[in-house]
Structure 1
């Protein structure tokens, strides 16, 4: 059997889960964990397929090191001098870090809620269509 090379010379805009994981350079299991953690974007649903946008993957991959950093590290990244210990931080700086963490958790929760609502609506429409479809009868000759 002869294997023909892929005729597309550029990565497609929409990618399946396997293609998206390979594009980022991780296994599908790691990719799923990255999506759950919010490090990679959620997919778009096209009919029954889940498709990841290559441009969103590029942007998320660029921001990856910043997303994994501790919020306190991000706050003090541009500050000159040695990195302060947690005991040396002012209450305002600690509050800002806690607020940033809380906002991120709320954003992820809202994204998950919206995704779950969409899934429930999709499944309800799918069930209604299946119920409305007349039953098949075998052909008789």
Structure 2
């Protein structure tokens, strides 16, 4: 494999662009490959994390299996023992 091709770009994971202030844009519903890349692990390691309960199971999204990025974030927070922060709060907008 060429050195300039990363695991992330190899599997078609979103890249940075100006619309997101240089941060990667990740969709809310992640495929297994994208969910694994989001966690910086291989798909095989992601499967093991699901089996041991440290990552959530997939949800049916029409005929597809998808992982909710917010659920993956919460699982990562638990693994890293991160305290809940402001992004966990529900923000209600007035009509």
Q: Shorter chain as normaliser: what TM range?
A: 0.5 to 0.7
Bigger relative CO (Cα 8 Å, ≥ 6 apart): 2
Question: Within 5 A, what are the aligned runs for 1:101-112?
Answer: none
Instruction: State TM-score, norm by structure 2.
Output: 0.58
The answer to whether 1:30 aligns with 2:45 is yes
TM-score (norm 1): 0.40
User: Partner of 1:63: helix, strand, or coil?
Assistant: helix
- 1:39 matched to 2:82? The reply is no
Structure 1 residue matching 2:55: 3-state secondary structure: coil
Q: Runs of 5+ in structure 2 lacking a partner? A: 1-13, 82-95
Please identify runs of 4+ aligned residues in structure 1 that moved more than 3 A. 5-9
Greater C-alpha Rg: 1
Q: Kindly state the Cα deviation for residue 20 of structure 1 after the two structures are TM-superposed.
A: 0.1
Structure number having the greater helix percentage: 1
Count of aligned residue pairs for this structure pair: 62
The C-alpha deviation readout for 1:86-106, integer Å capped at 9, x for no partner, is xxxxxxxxxxxxxxxxxxxxx
